[in-house]
Amino acid sequence: MLKTLVIAEKPDMGRNIAAVIEPKAQNKRSYLEGENYIITWAIGHLIGLAEPDLYDEKYKKWRFGDLPIIPDDFKLLPNPRTKDQLQVIADLAARSGELVNACDAGREGQHIFSLIVRHLGLRQPVKRLWISDLTAETIRKGFDQLKDNTEYANLTQAARARSEADWLIGMNGSRAFTTKHNELLSVGRVQTPVLALIYDRQKQIESFDSLKFYEITGMFEQDGGIAYKSNWQGDRLTDPEKAKAIADKVRGKTGAIASYEVKDTKEYPFKLYDLTLLQREANGKFSFSAKKTLDVAQALYEKHKVISYPRTNSNYVNAENIPEMHKILDAMRNSPDYGEFVNGANKRFVHANNKNVCNPAKVEDHHAIMPTMRKPQGLSPDERKLYDLIVKRFLSHFYPAAEYKVHTVLTEVEKETFKTTVKQLLSLGWKIIYAGDAPASKGSAKEKSKDKDDGAAEEEEQETDAPFEVDPQKPVVCADAEVKEKETQPPKPYTEGTLLKAMESAGKQIEDEELRDAMKDSGLGTPATRAATIERLKQVGYVDMQGKRIVITPKGRTAIELIRGAGVELLTSPEMTGHWERRLTEIARGQASADVFMGNVKKFTRLIIDKVNVQRPAARNAFARPEPPAKGARGGKKASDGGESGGSVAVAAKKAPAKRKAPVKASSAEQSGEPAVIGVCPSPGCGGSIFMGRKGYGCSHYKTGCKFVIWKESLGRTLTDAMVKSLIGKGRTGKLKFAGSGGESFEARIVLKDDRTGELALERE
């Protein structure tokens, strides 16, 4: 009897599956063989779309006249690094009667499998394993409920359309702008509008006109020992004399309570995590990049099997997940870290009618990220941090709401009105889980207007767990009044966390949760691809990291200006790309046609070529670097700060082969005599570039007062470019060995002690 061939996405997944369905299988290194099943795996993408030169030799040279390149049928090309594993799958399939697609249960997993089947011409019937975690119980249940792969035909079509659309825009857009402007410019269906978001934010910051204004705070006292702080109400004051006059007028005077309202309120637990929300919070709390969070979450899922499938865009579960959540809670009862919280938890809060948890209408392929029943062992510190976030969010839903009394007091004195809002804690409820956390982490989970950028006077809500009450019948005395000078603040530069939020809502600043949920289908990219898009922008030199902040480089700026200047603004439009993403989701649901979508993408590809064709080439100095900090600075290898001529073109998130060269004069730093740019100056508000000079690394804004410099010979070591790049980007180097005064060696990191001056210090391990 012919066996069934199971194809997983990665080796770990394959071994996990084999341990359940064929525990006595023989390990043949690249596959496992048992009595009924052979289990093997892809290694991510074994096959991709072929590059243009495989359609025609002439495409080896980049020429504008050869564009657009629009294949009738897209050719497939095996990845040369993993072709041996592809051959293993071909050989095993030849002696198998049925296939099981056990790749990741999502669009990309479906795509990986379908490419293998198409390329190898496999004709066997196919079943689909669709599971959300890798525990033995789930795998066993999944094999008991295998679906026919034809049920996922629409998802396969959407995955194929996404891949081919990316190829068309990436290949044609990159070649068109590169050959027209003599600079290697990477263009992508998703990456370009994301870069436009960063560009537009930077322009807002630069054009922001700061305005001074004045706030008046009064301290009021009432008989019986009650004292409270209150903010003056009125139009924003820009005249300091007027503000001072009001403060002087009310100070020491007796007033009355004009109104006093007390309202009971409840705060419910925050939503369970989807991948994007997890990435945002891990960036805010631990400074993890989006890619790092995805990699760590994938390890927790695949290697440790302690969380469910992480690449989800849902914050909710289905009704059938509720009993599973109860079992997971029971499994944690003896946990040394969470047992105390489990003992205080109550299952009655997690039920099918709790729409904060269970909302099947908002669960597509996968439910929210949750812990599994498996006990974690051997987690790295970073894995433990992320696991802790997921577990605490999960446990919080088994607790009651936090309860508050909100007191709102309007006080009038000398015809001036002051307002006080006091939030009095009655019961911590679910917040007890976070009581031991650092203060920042409690607030960072909030999805309120945390990213407010206008710098306007914000209502100060005073939180207290002490009793608060005023008597509206009694007079009050304004014991003191003070004036504070404030300044409106520009919008904040994006961090990876806030950029992910903008990508999720296609750049629209949407605070309303339900509207944001509705926008998820039309965001930029998907939860699984957003991290790769951000990494891509770094790799091609369009953005730099300045601590947690994302800073656009000169090359990134010029790229957006050239694309918009060509008249293809749609290529930079988050909204349009969001509409495309929604269309792909509709294709996956069987609500839209892949052929119509691809027809529109081809039309747009031709439009790009037509528009760029009549564009004037960029001026020679369009990509010029800022002025170097010192005369006679030595040239060196250019870092990818955004002005380099070398690099790779983004096409379906792949690097172009090394042989691929644009018809551009690629002048290296050594040839041109230009000093090497190491990165963006970390001095707050500077925005200059750090250059390598003869004795140190200085800032291009030194003439306008920037004092930042790092000397090459520092702390007994000669610093390298890589060390300085790490210092200005991350604030520290990796571990280094040093010799102590007594000859003993020790490990330490060099850290940036003062980001204004470049002063360094040692941080011993």
CA distance 131 to 437: 33
- Give the number of other CB atoms < 10 A from CB of residue 190: 29
Diameter over CA atoms, the chain: 97
Give the position of tokens 């970390």.
Answer: 682
Length of the chain: 765
Half-sphere exposure of 383 (CA within 13 A, CB side): 18
CB 362, CB 312: distance < 8 Å:
no
Judged by phi (left if over 0) then psi (alpha if -120 to 50, else beta), residue 706 lies in beta
Nearest to 326 by CA among 293, 343, 351, 306: 351
Distance, in Å, from the CA atom of 456 to the CA atom of 510, rounded to the nearest integer, reads 18
- The token duo for 476 is 């009050």
In 10-152, alpha helices (H): 11-21, 83-94, 107-120, 136-144
As given in the structure block, the two tokens for residue 573 are 């439009």
Cα 504 to Cα 516: distance, rounded to the nearest angstrom:
8
Nearest to 418 by CA among 265, 251, 264, 263: 251
Count of CB atoms within 10 A of residue 429's CB? 20
Give counts: helices (H), strands (E), the chain: 21, 27
Kind plus residue range of the DSSP H or E element containing 709: strand 709-711
User: Looking at 37, 59, 301, 309, which residue is catalytic?
Assistant: 309
Distance CA 331, CA 306 (A): 12
How far is the C-alpha of 686 from the C-alpha of 682, rounded, in Å? 7
Q: What is the DSSP string of 727-755?
A: HHHHSB---EEEE-TTS-EEEEEEEEEET
7, 123, 531, 541 from 42: Cα distances, Å: 7, 18, 22, 31
Instruction: Find how far residue 417's CA is from the centre of its chain.
Output: 44
Burial class of residue 385, CB neighbours in 10 A (0-12, 13-18, 19+): middle
Q: Is 702 a catalytic residue?
A: no
DSSP 8-state assignment for residue 156: H
d(CA 637, CA 185): 20
Q: What are phi and psi of 193, to 5 degrees?
A: -65, -30
| Dihedral angle sign, alpha carbons of residues 437, 323, 382, 678 | negative
**Helix or strand or coil: residue 221?**
strand
CA neighbor of 261 nearest in space, from 416, 424, 415: 424
- Tokens 């033995």 found at: 136
Which among 172, 186, 182 has a CA at the least distance from the CA of 642? Answer: 186
Cα–Cα distance measured from residue 386 to residue 536, given in angstroms and rounded to the nearest whole number: 24
Q: Cα–chain-centroid distance for residue 252?
A: 52
Residue 116: which of 97, 151, 94, 90 has the closest Cα? 90
Residue keyed to tokens 């050594």: 670
Reduced to 3 states (helix: H, G, I; strand: E, B; else coil), residue 722 is helix
DSSP H helices, 251-320, are 275-286, 290-302
From CA 139, how far away is CA 23, in angstroms rounded? 13
Cα–chain-centroid distance for residue 164?
Answer: 24
Nearest to 679 by CA among 643, 732, 630, 649: 643
Q: Which residues are catalytic?
A: 309
